[in-house]
Chains A and B, each alone.
Chain A
């Protein structure tokens, strides 16, 4: 009776109380290799080659495993395919003329892309007191609420930026959330960097990773 043991050493065969490793089976002179030996562990394929450290079979197993890993390793960069890279800087875009937009009024504009409503922004012409506080007459924010990504608007009556979904409100001077669920998150509404040149307002940059999430630093108007 030859019984196969599913013990800790793989391919160990016990026969009449003696244990043989699988390497014994690959030995041509079976009896001289293992049959006369009572040792439970037997390294190497033949008695003339003792203490080689690693049997050929184990060596091949390890190398085969390494080879398989190496074969699929280049696919690690496939993540680049799944996660599209977005640019950090954009071509500046003419939004409006300073004369187009009345005091305490606002307008929507798409920047930097036109593929998603979260790329819509509000340009606000702040009233004088707020403009003094903000340090700029014109400010622009991304519209996406940092709470659950609804689209905010400037409410000229209350002079705040408000979200229609869950009632979050933001300060128009720096985009800091002052009420509603966004206030508990406590990050600035991402601002759009503006450039005013010869009466033209250009949108220069916005941090795409902050859209719908919030900015940790206040805008530098």
Chain B
């Protein structure tokens, strides 16, 4: 804890309680994890994993609350073509139940944040070389949790059963059915005997099976030392809420089998796969084999790169591989949103089909460019032989705040929070749902700044 007191000093009852609890917690697994509360600002790049976990926790809480009103049943009226579907319950959560829209926005934007943070976490660890030299188990479990995260997000947005969700369900079902040899079995396993079965299965996977699996694997994936940076965690939470306030998640159009579907896009973390499927090559190859190759390459990388070198310059081959992967991911993701011509917006059906030669040619080109670029850059900027590596970091001049300035900033931040709390409650009762999100988010960011000031000021 930040405030360690000497033995001789008389302890406050609170401190005594904390000590008592600490001693008892030593009997539990909890204290096996060492939480570090950094006393000054450290780069969040080093604890992106813990930030990912914080979003996982946010998702758990908001998701559990959403479950109270979500109803997974699908019923088709064969005469009128009307559908009674989970969409109706999501609509109620979004529009009718108080605070429902806020929870749904938190859940949606936290899911995006989790996928984004997990990807960033993976690539940062990759480029730092933290996948080898006894990090292998952490790396492999991390990749598995990453895949589970994507599938978790996929099952999640399907549960709404809007047109967009239905597109994803259809593609998923078509992929499962196209599995060689065991297609019908894989299809039944995923889809059951109808949409109601499928939604129930996705629901069970989304709210229980996969989160439990993820928690189990996390127990192995968590390193012994964790950085619990409260200011950054609250800032990230604040940003999630502010994003929700500025770009509230849409409900989308309800899926009705008789209605004509327009062009819909999957979520951004699946558009890469969608682009590959759109090239018209064999579905199983496009939707399963190629993404799997991508995953397997990253899965086996610690067993291929067994050198003891860690800097990006010392292992140009794997640095280039990471860059190639990052570039290909970016290209395919963007292309998924665009027309056959990547520089054109997608707005008509004939533009959906992507020319496979141009597409895969570009993907290969990105890989080649990453390798070529990396080797050329490292060669042209190589330090002269015999030169000592310079690890010096630039020291930025730090402005020291005076006592009065401290007080002014802290008190104004607190005032700011009080104001925004009042505003958010007022907005809540006035029905301005997005404003509620925005203001709670800003309040969380203000708390993050305050917590940061506390830790640097408490020294």
Which A residues have a C-beta under 8 Å from some C-beta of B?
82-84, 86, 108, 110, 113-120, 147-151, 164-167, 181, 184-185, 209, 212-213
Contact A117 B195 (CB under 8 A): yes
CB interface residues, B 37-93, toward A, < 8 Å: 74, 76, 78
A114 to B193, CA, bound (A): 10
Set of chain B residues within 8 Å of A167, measured between Cβ atoms = 349-350, 352
Write out the residue numbers on chain B whose beta carbons fall within 8 Å of the beta carbon of A119: 194
Could you tell me if A149 and B173 are in contact, using CB atoms closer than 8 angstroms? yes
B193–A83 contact, CB under 8 A?
no
Distance between B309 CB and nearest chain A CB, rounded to angstroms: 28
B280 touches A149 (CB 8 A): no
Interface string of B176-193 (1 = CB under 8 A from A): 011000011101110111
Q: Does B421 contact A (CB under 8 A)?
A: no
A167 to B353, CA, bound (A): 10
Question: A166 is contacted by which of B189, B194, B196, B349 (Cβ under 8 Å)?
Answer: B349
Min distance, Cβ A28 to any Cβ of chain B, angstroms: 40
In the complex, which residues of chain A have a beta carbon less than 8 angstroms from the beta carbon of B451?
Answer: none
Q: A117-B195, A213-B183 are in contact. Are A82 and B352 (CB under 8 A)?
A: no
Q: Is the CB of B193 within 8 A of A212?
A: no
Give the nearest-CB partner of B193 in chain A. Answer: A84
Residue B449 lies at the interface, judged by CB distance under 8 Å to chain A: no
Give the distance in Å from the alpha carbon of A113 to the alpha carbon of B194 in the complex.
8
- Indicate whether A148 sits within 8 Å of B188 (C-beta atoms), given known contacts A164-B260, A181-B280, A213-B178: no
Q: How many A-B residue pairs have CB under 8 A?
A: 80
B195 touches A114 (CB 8 A): no
A166 touching B173, Cβ below 8 Å = no
The interface residues of chain B, by DSSP majority, are classed as helix
Q: Does A164 contact B174, Cβ atoms closer than 8 Å?
A: no
Contact A148 B260 (CB under 8 A): no
Complex CA–CA separation, A164 to B259 (angstroms): 10
A208 to chain B, nearest CB (A): 8
Of A114, A165, A167, most buried by chain B (CB within 10 Å of CB) is A165
Q: Which of B's residues lie within 8 Å of A, judged by CB?
A: 74, 76, 78, 167, 170-171, 173-174, 177-178, 183-185, 187-189, 191-198, 257-258, 260-261, 277, 280, 283, 349-350, 352-353
Q: A86-B188, A113-B194, A115-B193 are in contact. Are A166 and B174 (CB under 8 A)?
A: no
Q: Which residues of A contact B277 (CB under 8 A)?
A: 148
Contacts of B74 in A (CB 8 A): 115
* Bound CA–CA A120/B257 (angstroms): 9
For A86, the chain B residues whose CB sits under 8 A away are 188, 193
Q: Do residues A115 and B261 form an inter-chain contact, with CB atoms below 8 A?
A: no
CB distance from A43 to the nearest CB of B (A): 37
Q: Residue on B with the closest CB to A109?
A: B78
**Contacts beyond the supplied A84-B188, A151-B257, A165-B261: 15 A-B pairs with Cβ under 8 Å:** A110-B76, A110-B78, A114-B76, A116-B76, A117-B76, A117-B195, A117-B257, A148-B167, A149-B170, A149-B173, A164-B261, A209-B183, A212-B170, A212-B173, A212-B174
Contacts of B184 in A (CB 8 A): 209
Task: Rank and list the top 8 A-B pairs by shortest CB-CB distance, nearest first.
Answer: A115-B194, A117-B257, A116-B194, A149-B170, A209-B184, A116-B195, A83-B188, A213-B177
| 10 sample A-B contacts, Cβ–Cβ < 8 Å, listed by A number | A82-B189, A86-B188, A116-B193, A148-B277, A150-B261, A164-B260, A164-B261, A181-B353, A212-B174, A213-B178
B81 and chain A: residue at smallest CB distance: A108
Whole-angstrom CA separation of A64 from B166 in the bound complex: 49
Cα(A148)–Cα(B283), bound, Å: 9
Chain A residues contacting B187 (CB-CB under 8 Å) are 209, 212-213
**Docked complex Cα distance between A83 and B191 (Å):** 9
Instruction: Give complex CA distance A17, B321 in Å.
Output: 50
For A118, what are the chain B residues with a Cβ–Cβ distance below 8 Å?
173
Contacts of B171 in A (CB 8 A): 148-149
Q: Give the nearest-CB partner of A183 in chain B.
A: B280
A110-B174 Cα distance, complex, nearest whole Å: 20
Chain A min CB distance to B409 (Å) = 56
Cα distance A118–B198 when bound, in Å?
Answer: 12
Interchain CA distance A171-B367 in the complex, whole Å: 42
CA distance A149 to B177 in the complex (A): 10
User: Distance (Å) between the CB of B56 and the closest chain A CB?
Assistant: 26
Q: Once the chains bind, are B188 and A115 in contact (CB under 8 Å)? A: no
A47 CB, min distance to chain B CBs, angstroms: 45
Give complex CA distance A151, B258 in Å.
9
- Chain A residues within an 8 Å CB radius of B352: 166-167
Measured in the bound complex, the distance between the Cα atoms of B255 and A151 in whole Å is: 12
Given A110-B78, A165-B349: A149 touches B197 (CB 8 Å cut-off): no
Q: When the two chains form their complex, are residues A84 and B197 in contact, meaning their CB atoms are under 8 A apart?
A: yes
Bound CA span A83–B182, Å: 12
> Closest residue to A209 on the B side, CB-wise?
B184
Bound-state Cα–Cα, A213 to B350, Å: 22
Q: Is the CB of A148 within 8 A of B76?
A: no
